[in-house]
Structure 1
Amino acid sequence: MTYATTQQLEDRFGHRLVLDLTDRADPPAGQIDVGVVDRALTDTDALIDGYLKGRYVLPLTETPPLIVDLALTIAIYKLHTYSPDPKIEEDYKMALRSLEMVGKGTIRLPVEGAEPKDTGGGGARVTDRERPFSAATMKGFI
């Protein structure tokens, strides 16, 4: 299951941009190369799965809107063969930061099969040892 589709890329970024990024034939064929788009979407899915696999059961039963948004942002970045527009590059970096937060659990996805990670560090610690420095042991120094 892919997180985004070619049609969603066209709807968000426009037919012209997707055509310009994917039509790599010489001379240009004048149509979107679905193979190029599929390769970028597959790479995007693998990247997203890498962040999700430690926290969620994969494959996801349904794709949350946040993941679709991040997948589109990453895929359009990956379609660029040369330096992308600064806005696209900044959006890509923000998408990676968002995926890191999802992987850490800061951002929670509304899906079934969430696996919360237990860090083991939450809660009060109690020590039953005697204090090494007290009024009785420091007699003469206080």
Structure 2
Amino acid sequence: MYCSTQEVRDSVKDDAIGSLIGGDYIDDPEERELKITPLIKSAIEDACGEIDGYLAKRYSVPLQVVPKAINKFAKDIAIYNLFSRIGIDESEREKNYLNRYNAAIRFLENVAKGMIDIGTGGVSDTTRKADTGFSVHSSPRRFSRDSMRGM
């Protein structure tokens, strides 16, 4: 996983939890957490799958070392996934979730194209070396001006 359940939960305001778990206000904080936690875990799994889809073009996935940028975008995508379950109102504060999601996707598309390197090593090291230029290996010369002189 590229982010934790707690990281995503910390990013979701308490007043939004009611609508995310079905619109009913639950007074008991423990019961609220029991209902929202599986939804957050599912949103994170979907986000990680989406991220892996882009990263797999250049890196071995899942990443063993998670760069900060991937952690941030995993949270943004997971939060978007949560709110998209109930519909995102583009005229209100929820538009921010859509904007962050779109930024994450643009970043991941650029990583997949090789325009951004997330610096984790792996498959992309070989690819990156191949993309930086070329080299030619050939047999030594058999004929030269000196060897052909007088013929």
Q: Considering the TM-score relative to the shorter chain, is it more than 0.5?
A: yes
Structure with the bigger percentage of helix: 2
On the 8 A contact 1:73/1:88 being kept in 2, the answer is: yes
Match of 1:102, SS state, is: helix
Q: Does 1:5 align with 2:4?
A: yes
CA apart distance, 1:92: 1.0
Tell me the CA shift for residue 48 of structure 1: 0.2
SS in 2 for 1:56: coil
1:78 counterpart = 2:81: yes
From the superposition, tell whether residues 55 and 21 of structure 1 become closer, same or farther in structure 2 (CA, over 3 Å): farther
Whether the 8 Å contact between 1:21 and 1:79 is mirrored in structure 2 is: no
Q: 1:120 to 1:102 in 2, by over 3 A?
A: closer
Partner residue of 2:146? none
Query: Counterpart of 2:21 in structure 1: which amino acid?
Result: D
In the TM superposition, residue 100 of structure 1 has moved relative to its aligned partner by 0.2
Contact conserved, 1:23 with 1:29, CA < 8 A, in 2? no
Shift of 1:66: 0.3
Unpaired segments ≥5 residues, structure 2:
135-151
Say if 2:20 and 2:82, in contact at 8 Å, map to a contact too. yes
Detail structure 1 runs of 4+ shifted over 4 Å in the superposition: 118-123
Counterpart pick for 1:110 among 111, 119, 134: 119
How does 1:51-70 map onto structure 2 within 5 Å?
51-70=54-73
1:121 shift after superposition: 10
2:18, 2:26 within 8 Å by CA — same for their partners in 1? no
- Partner amino acid, structure 1, of 2:98: E
> Of 31, 38, 46, which aligns to 1:43?
46
Rate the CA distance shift 1:86–1:120 in 2: closer, same or farther, 3 A.
closer
The CA RMSD measured in Å over matched residues stands at 2.5
Deviation at 1:113, TM superposition (A): 0.8
Q: C-alpha offsets along residues 1-46 of structure 1, whole Å, 9 cap, x if unaligned? A: x1112211133343443x2353227x44451321111111111111
Instruction: Report the AA paired with residue 94 of structure 1.
Output: A
- Between the two proteins, the alignment pairs up a number of residues equal to 121
What residue number does 2:107 align with?
98
Matched residues in 2 for 1:21 and 1:83: separation? 12
Aligned twin of 1:135: none
Query: Would the aligned equivalents of 1:61 and 1:112 in 2 still touch at CA under 8 Å?
Result: no
Output the amino acid matched with 2:88.
Answer: S
